[in-house]
Amino acid sequence: MVLSLFRKAEITPPADIEAASLRSDRFRLEREADWRRLDTIVTALEKNRPRRISDDDLLELPVLYRNTASSLAVARETSLDAATLNYLEALVRRAWFQIYGPRIELIGWLRRFLGGGWSAAVRAIWLDICIALVVMVAGTVVGWLLVDQDERWYYSLVPGGMAGGRAPGADPEVLRESLGTAEGADGLGVFAAYLFSNNTGVCILAFALGFAFGVPTLLLLVHNLSLLGAMYWVFSEAGLGLDFAAWISVHGTTELGAIMLSGAAGLHVGRTMMFPGDRSILSAMQTAGVRAAQVMAGCTIMLIVAGLLEGYARQLVGSTSARFAIGGAMLLFWALYFALVPAPQERDT
C-alpha cells in the first residue's frame, strides 16, 4: 500500500472504448494513453527531473507532442467536450513551453558568454560606449570646475558621510593618510562585498534608467563622475593629484569601465526607443534589450573583480607606481578582451 504511493503511476488504457456512445468520446479514449504519457514526461521536465524520464519516452517526445497537437486540432473541430478541450490546450501549451522553453545550462552558457558573446555585445554598442565615455569625462571636468570656482560646491556634490575628512583645505597629511594602506587583510572581505553589492546596484540602476530615452542615465553618469572630479580637485590642491589618480586607478579602471558599460547599455535601450530605425519599436527594443542585458551580465563580473581590487589590492599595495601598474594592466586587459575576442559561432540554441 505504502509502496504503491512511490511507484510510478502506470498508464492504463481506458477501460472500454466501445462503451462510449459518442464518436468524439471514442476518439478521445483511443488517444488518451498517449496524452497521459506526454503529460508525465512534461511534468517531469517541469520539475527539472529529466532523469526520471525513460529513454524511450524521451525519444518519443516529439512524436507524442505532434500527435497531441493534432489531436487538439481534430478535437476542436469535432468535439464539444469542454473539459477535454481545456485539458488538451493546457497540455499542448505546457509541452510546447518545455520543448521550446529556456534550455539553460550554466556552464555552457558561461563558456559561450565569456568566449565571445559578451565581447561581441560590447562591440555592438560601441557608439553608446563613446557617448557614455564623453559624458563621464565631461562630468569629471564639470565637478572639477565647479569646485575650482566655489569650494562650497564640494559639499553639495559629495555627501557628508562619504567625504570622511576629505574636504577642501584639509590637512595634506590627513589626505595622504586616506590614500594609505591597511595594516593587514582584516575586514577587507566585508569591504569588498559591500563595494560589490553597492556598485552593482548603481550599475543596474544606470541601465534601468535608460528606458526613459536614456536621459536619466546621462544624469546619473554626470552626477557620479562630478563627485570624482570634485574629489580630485581637493587632492590636487594639496599636491597629491598623482597619488590620488594612482589610488583610484587600482580598481577604477575596472569599476569605471563597468559603470561606463552599464550606462552605455542603458543608453543603447533609450536610443533605440527614440530611433528604432525601420523596424517596429517593440522588436527593435527587444534586440537592443537582449544585447544590453548581455553587457550587463558582464558588468557584474567586472564589478566582482573591481570589488576585490578595491577591497584588497588597493588596501595592501601602497606605492604609486605599483598602483598605476595594476590599474593600467587591468585597463589593457579589458580593452584587449573586448576588442579581440571574436563572436561565438551561431547556433540555434
Partner 1 sequence: MSAHHAHAAMQADRSKRARTLVTPEGLSLPLTVGSRGARAGALLLDLVILLVGIIAVLVLFSAIGFGLLDIGSSPEASPVLQGLLVLAILFLFLSRYGYFLWFELGPRAATPGKRIVGLRVAARDGGRLTAEMVLARNLMRDIEVFVPAFFLLGGGQNSGAFGLATFIWLAVFVLFPVFNKDALRAGDIVAGTWVVEARHAKLKDAMSVAPDRTRDYRFEEAELSVYGEHELQVLERVLRQDRPESLREVAEAITGKIGWQLGAGDEREFLEAFYAALRGHLESNMRFGKRKRDKFS
Max Cα distance, the chain (Å): 98
- Comparing C-alpha atoms, which of 63, 92, 122 is closest to residue 294? 122
- Min separation Cβ 100 and partner 1, Å: 5
Question: Which one, 129 or 292, has the nearer CB to partner 1?
Answer: 292
217 and 152 in contact (C-beta within 8 Å)?
Answer: no
Question: Which one, 3 or 80, has the nearer CB to partner 1?
Answer: 80
Question: Which one, 101 or 165, has the nearer CB to partner 1?
Answer: 101
- Min separation Cβ 212 and partner 1, Å: 8
Radius of gyration over every alpha carbon of the chain, rounded to an integer in angstroms: 30
**Separation between Cα atoms, residue 323 and residue 210, nearest integer Å:** 33
Question: Which one, 16 or 56, has the nearer CB to partner 1?
Answer: 16
- Min separation Cβ 237 and partner 1, Å: 31
- Min separation Cβ 108 and partner 1, Å: 10
Q: Enter the C-alpha cell of residue 167.
A: 574636504
**Separation between Cα atoms, residue 263 and residue 181, nearest integer Å:** 31
In the chain, which ranges are continuous DSSP H helix?
2-6, 23-46, 55-78, 82-99, 106-112, 118-124, 126-149, 152-157, 160-163, 172-178, 188-209, 215-237, 241-274, 281-308, 314-316, 320-340
Question: Which one, 204 or 343, has the nearer CB to partner 1?
Answer: 204
- Min separation Cβ 16 and partner 1, Å: 7
- Min separation Cβ 137 and partner 1, Å: 26
194 and 301 in contact (C-beta within 8 Å)?
Answer: no
Q: Enter the C-alpha cell of residue 53.
A: 524520464
- Min separation Cβ 279 and partner 1, Å: 12
| CA dist list (Å): 88 to 10, 17, 40, 201, 273 | 20, 19, 14, 44, 39
Question: Which one, 116 or 289, has the nearer CB to partner 1?
Answer: 289
Question: Which one, 23 or 152, has the nearer CB to partner 1?
Answer: 23
